[in-house]
Chains A and B, each alone.
Chain A
């Protein structure tokens, strides 16, 4: 089955700890994205990557970091510098960044920081 997997589904951390969210896709897509979703707000883009070893900041990159060492994987680290990290995090991918193809989403990771 082709798709996007995110793990874990639920994640709990103490304030001050860094945490890494996993995103893997076997769709052979070039572009991958990380979004954050908060109640009452639209999805907001954190980082995106159009090709391996390259990524760009989205609208709310502060306090987050990413890497893209493999085409299939785009992990997101939520650092202690992120002031309000509790949220639902969604990973997405699309075939070709310049083609206008639709984005496909993973099941999401709900992060709770206390």
Chain B
């Protein structure tokens, strides 16, 4: 059974710093991995999706990497801003065709200190 872990559960950093969020998964047979952002009391916003054949994806100040063989992904946020404060979740999709079940981590709650 796939398990997804995100450590730490909470992280506080001063504004302007670069930071890395971690996501690890136990079964490397994945189709893709998706990073989401969730603001308090809101739904999830998709940030980046990495297919299993890819090593990384970039969007603005965000860069997500994937090392499938070691079961790890990182989300790098450059030049952090207070508006980046949110909970960040990763989710993996298994590689068997037609299986839509994402397995989610419990998230890292990020606070950017002005």
Contacts and interface: CB of A to CB of B under 8 A. Distances in A.
A98 B98 contact: yes
A98 B102 contact: no
A71 B88 CA distance: 30
Contact of B34 (A6, A50, A97, A103): A103
B45 A31 contact: no
Nearest to B42: A107
Interface in A42-56: 42-45, 48, 50
Given A42-B106, A110-B41, A104 B46 contact: yes
A64 interface: no
Contact of A106 (B4, B43, B98): B43
A111 interface: no
Nearest to B106: A42
B97 A45 contact: no
A104 B102 CA distance: 12
Interface residues of B, number: 26
Contacts, number: 59
Interface string A1-35: 00010100000000000000000000000010100
A48 B93 CA distance: 14
B89 A42 contact: yes
Contact of B98 (A44, A94, A97, A105): A97
B100 interface: yes
Interface in B9-31: 31
Interface string B77-114: 00000000000010101000110111111110000000
Contacts of B107: 42
Interface of A: 4, 6, 31, 33, 40-45, 48, 50, 58-59, 88, 90, 92, 94, 97-98, 100, 102-108, 110
Given A94-B100, A102-B46, 4 more contacts: A42-B106, A104-B46, A105-B36, A105-B43
Leading 4 A-B pairs by shortest Cβ distance:
A42-B104, A105-B44, A105-B43, A43-B104
